[in-house]
Amino acid sequence: MRLKIVSAGEAVLRQSARPLTVAEIRGAAIQQLIEYMRETMHDAPGVGLAAPQVGQPLQLAVIEDKQEYLAGLSAEHVAERERRPVPFHVIINPVVHLAPGAEVEFFEGCLSVPGFTAVVPRALRVRVECLDHAGKSRVIEASGWYARILQHETDHLQGTLYIDRMLSRTFCSVENHSRSWKTKSLAEVKAALGIN
């Protein structure tokens, strides 16, 4: 079943979501929500979807970056972003630890801000402590694009959207991004937009 994805302006996207208990996670309602969120993410399509995006103020997100999503990208694009396929998984009650040092900037979009994109600085590496779909503890060490996805989805659970972190001068429609910036390096984009 495809769920309705709420857009920026909905209060649920600006609230801190509540943690789930292990008993709730293992219950039928949350297991069904996970499956519906998975279907909704695939249908969109997207690489992540947080429960607040479907109107549920819960600390739960689903993530999957399929090999097929990389197919239309240049080798340079994939390498620069350190993007690799990520199998489907669930993160619940995540605590994110940003690795000190390296930060990277790339265009980022969101299913709750449809039709737009902007450059967002993110930590290159993260360590995430969370529970999985069965309520078991899990630690995820991630870098590159996967680290970006984890930061983006956990932001949703704290009421934060990428537009709160973006370099505002880079905010544009997906159409304009495809026409003007998609083949440009980030340095070229920033120079053209007057960003130091």
Active site residues: 153
> How many Cα atoms within 13 Å fall on the side-chain side of residue 151?
26
Listed in order, strand segments (DSSP E) in the chain are 48-50, 60-65, 86-98, 103-108, 116-123, 125-131, 137-143, 172-173
Instruction: For Cα atoms 144, 145, 149, give the angle at the middle one, nearest 5 degrees.
Output: 125
How far is CA 114 from its chain centroid? Answer: 13
Nearest residue to 60 via CA among 135, 1, 126: 135
- Cis peptide upstream of residue 57 (ω within 30 degrees of 0): no
Type of residue numbered 152:
H
Distances (CA, A) of 185 to 81, 82, 133, 191: 12, 15, 38, 10
